[in-house]
């Protein structure tokens, strides 16, 4: 249930509602809008008497949320969530039609200090505002390169210092959250970990924004329920990422579910990011799919770019050269303008 307060409701009135919710064995989540406060009531599914709240002072109305995800739902919060990230040198706003697209780019994995610093300068020059690069890599084979761990995080931080780009990097387990949070601006939860509930709880308790990737065999509702874990722990800065799902088609690595963009934006207020690199698995198709994603209403793109894709330690086949990424940005900018967004 969501309790919509009258505009101008006092702190005392809001406090009384919160207390009443807690008495009912539920948790209260406050969303402070420009005009009024909305209080989300989440917890068990026990029936609650709506009139208890309807009669309380300062309450405008009480709206039941029928969907299983509550805090992630548009019914709870009508306005788009805008996530603000400050790198010290610049402020980036992700989500909300008035804000530019989040352009995340960089190699699949951080391979060397030189490679990530060179990548940072190159993607920044091309128009990116966020640098990606894995320090901890979830690899199908235990014999594949697993990432440079904390050294890679230090190199990413150095790249941020030199360029002002924000950093997004993957965190694979709850015990890594404090370490990765020390260096990263955005914590990525990878597709393989979308339903790692211990990890979702851990990033939910962190103060860092989270990029939550859709599992390759997960429904949109499961993605939203995974986001709900993070939100219900008090971290409201969550981005949903469509990165392709498994289908019978094998020519491309995955199949981008373009439907997910308008559907997730309709069901939820959270920003939606598209990853055309893992969706296609082939760099040749990344530009076309990026344009489609932006045309469909995505709030940003996360794209793999490597200074020398042929030498990449992971995902070389889907990595763009800096030159092709520069061209991609120019094309995406024109599509963005057509749908009233900017790059
Ligand atoms: C990645 O971003 O490099 C990655 C491993 O992505 P996903 O979790 O979507 O496969
Ligand atoms: Mn990758």
Give CA–CA dist 311/194, Å, rounded.
Answer: 29
Reference 122, options 313, 321, 328, 278; nearest CA is 321
pTM for this prediction:
0.94
**Residue 78 maps to a domain:** no
pLDDT of residue 45: 67
**Residue 250 maps to a domain:** yes
Nearest residue CA, atom 9 of ligand 1? Answer: 191
Predicted confidence (pLDDT) at residue 28 exceeds the cutoff of 70: yes
Neighbours of 299 (CB within 10 A): 29
- Please tell me whether residues 188 and 115 are part of one structural domain: yes
Alpha-helical (H) ranges within 176-285 are: 177-183, 197-204, 220-232, 260-267, 276-280
What are the tens digits of pLDDT across the range 48-83?
A: 888 999 999 999 999 888 888 989 999 889 999 999
Nearest residue CA, atom 6 of ligand 1? Answer: 190
- Please tell me whether residues 40 and 106 are part of one structural domain: no
Q: Which two tokens stand for residue 90?
A: 């610049």
Distance 22 CA to ligand 2 centre (A): 43
pLDDT of residue 124: 98
Give CA–CA dist 273/302, Å, rounded.
Answer: 7
- Close Cβ partners of 228 (under 8 Å, ≥ 6 residues apart): 68, 69, 70, 71, 72
Of the residues 32, 63, 94, the one at which a domain ends: 63
**Residue 139 maps to a domain:** yes
pLDDT of residue 199: 98
Distance 245 CA to ligand 2 centre (A): 15
- Please tell me whether residues 115 and 212 are part of one structural domain: yes
Give CA–CA dist 45/187, Å, rounded.
Answer: 31
Predicted confidence (pLDDT) at residue 327 exceeds the cutoff of 70: yes
**Helix or strand or coil: residue 64?**
coil
CA angle (184, 29, 267) in 5-degree steps: 75
Whether the CB-CB separation of 170 and 189 falls below 8 Å is answered with: yes
**Residue 76 maps to a domain:** no
- Please tell me whether residues 189 and 233 are part of one structural domain: yes
Mutation probe of ligand 1 site: the residue of 168, 190, 193, 304 with most atoms within 8 A of C-beta: 190
Give CA–CA dist 56/50, Å, rounded.
Answer: 10
- Please tell me whether residues 282 and 248 are part of one structural domain: yes
Distance 40 CA to ligand 1 centre (A): 32
Give CA–CA dist 129/273, Å, rounded.
Answer: 14
- Please tell me whether residues 43 and 138 are part of one structural domain: no
- Please tell me whether residues 35 and 91 are part of one structural domain: no
Give CA–CA dist 171/270, Å, rounded.
Answer: 20
Name all residues whose Cβ lies below 6 A of ligand 1.
108, 134, 138, 190-192, 213, 243, 275, 278
Considering only residues 20 and 32, tell me which one the structure prediction assigns the higher pLDDT: 20
Beta strand 2-5 with 59-63: parallel, antiparallel or unpaired?
Answer: antiparallel
Reference 141, options 280, 303, 314, 281; nearest CA is 314
Nearest residue CA, atom 3 of ligand 1? Answer: 108
Q: Which two tokens stand for residue 94?
A: 């992700």
- Where residue 283 sits, what CATH number does that domain have? 3.20.20.70
Mutation probe of ligand 1 site: the residue of 134, 156, 170, 211 with most atoms within 8 A of C-beta: 170
Beta strand 102-106 with 130-132: parallel, antiparallel or unpaired?
Answer: parallel
Proximal ligand: closest to the CA of 253 = 1
Whether the CB-CB separation of 220 and 264 falls below 8 Å is answered with: yes
**Residue 6 maps to a domain:** yes
Mean pLDDT of the chain: 96
What are the tens digits of pLDDT across the range 157-182?
A: 999 999 999 999 999 999 999 999 99
Distance 278 CA to ligand 1 centre (A): 7
**Residue 69 maps to a domain:** no
Residue 242, CB half-sphere, CA atoms under 13 Å: how many?
30
Distance 183 CA to ligand 1 centre (A): 19
- Please tell me whether residues 132 and 228 are part of one structural domain: yes
- Where residue 28 sits, what CATH number does that domain have? 3.30.70.1140
- Please tell me whether residues 12 and 107 are part of one structural domain: no
Give the residue-averaged pLDDT of 227-238.
95
Residue with tokens 């610093």: 117
Burial of 285 (0-12, 13-18, 19+ CB in 10 A): middle
Burial of 198 (0-12, 13-18, 19+ CB in 10 A): exposed
What's the domain range around 6?
2-63
**Residue 73 maps to a domain:** no
Distance 114 CA to ligand 1 centre (A): 22
pLDDT of residue 49: 84
Reference 286, options 250, 343, 249, 327; nearest CA is 327
- Please tell me whether residues 199 and 271 are part of one structural domain: yes
- Please tell me whether residues 47 and 97 are part of one structural domain: no
Of the residues 16, 34, 63, the one at which a domain ends: 63
Neighbours of 277 (CB within 10 A): 29
Number of domains in the chain: 2
Nearest residue CA, atom 1 of ligand 1? Answer: 108
Chain center to CA of 11: 31
- Please tell me whether residues 17 and 129 are part of one structural domain: no
Predicted confidence (pLDDT) at residue 339 exceeds the cutoff of 70: yes
Distance 163 CA to ligand 1 centre (A): 24
Using a pLDDT cut of 70, give the percent of the chain over it: 100
Confidence category of residue 35, pLDDT binned at 50, 70, 90? confident
Whether the CB-CB separation of 181 and 174 falls below 8 Å is answered with: no
Give CA–CA dist 136/151, Å, rounded.
Answer: 10
Give CA–CA dist 257/220, Å, rounded.
Answer: 10
């Amino acid at each position: 249930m969501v309790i919509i307060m009258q505009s101008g409701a006092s702190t005392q009135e809001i406090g009384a509602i919160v207390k009443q919710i807690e008495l009912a064995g539920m948790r209260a989540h406050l969303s402070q809008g420009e005009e009024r406060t909305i209080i989300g009531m989440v917890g068990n599914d026990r029936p609650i008497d709506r009139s208890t709240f309807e009669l309380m002072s300062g309450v405008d109305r009480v709206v039941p949320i029928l969907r299983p995800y509550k805090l992630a739902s548009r019914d709870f919060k009508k306005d788009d969530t805008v996530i603000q990230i400050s790198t010290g040198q610049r402020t980036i706003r992700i989500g909300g039609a008035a804000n530019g697209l989040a352009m995340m780019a960089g190699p699949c994995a951080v391979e060397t200090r030189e490679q990530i610093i060179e990548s940072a300068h190159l993607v920044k020059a091309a128009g990116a505002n966020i640098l990606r690069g894995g320090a901890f890599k979830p690899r199908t084979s235990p014999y594949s390169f697993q990432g440079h761990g904390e050294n890679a995080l230090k190199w990413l931080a150095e790249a941020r210092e030199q360029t002002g780009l924000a950093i997004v990097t993957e965190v694979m387990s709850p015990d890594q959250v404090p370490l990765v949070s020390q260096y990263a601006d955005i914590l990525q939860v990878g597709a393989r970990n979308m339903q790692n509930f211990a990890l979702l709880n851990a990033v939910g308790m962190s103060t860092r924004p989270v990029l939550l990737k859709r599992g390759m065999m997960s429904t949109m509702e499961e993605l939203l329920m995974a986001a709900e874990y993070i939100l219900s722990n008090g971290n409201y800065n969550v981005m949903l990422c469509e990165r392709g799902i498994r289908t019978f088609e094998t020519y491309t690595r995955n199949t981008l579910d373009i439907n997910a963009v308008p559907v997730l934006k309709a069901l939820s207020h959270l920003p939606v990011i598209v990853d055309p690199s893992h969706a296609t698995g082939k760099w040749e198709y990344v530009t076309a799919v990026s344009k489609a994603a932006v045309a469909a209403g995505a709030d940003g793109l996360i794209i793999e770019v490597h200074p020398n894709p042929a030498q990449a330690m992971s995902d070389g086949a889907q990595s763009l050269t800096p030159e092709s990424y520069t061209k991609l940005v120019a094309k995406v900018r024109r599509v963005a303008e057509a749908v009233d967004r900017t790059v």
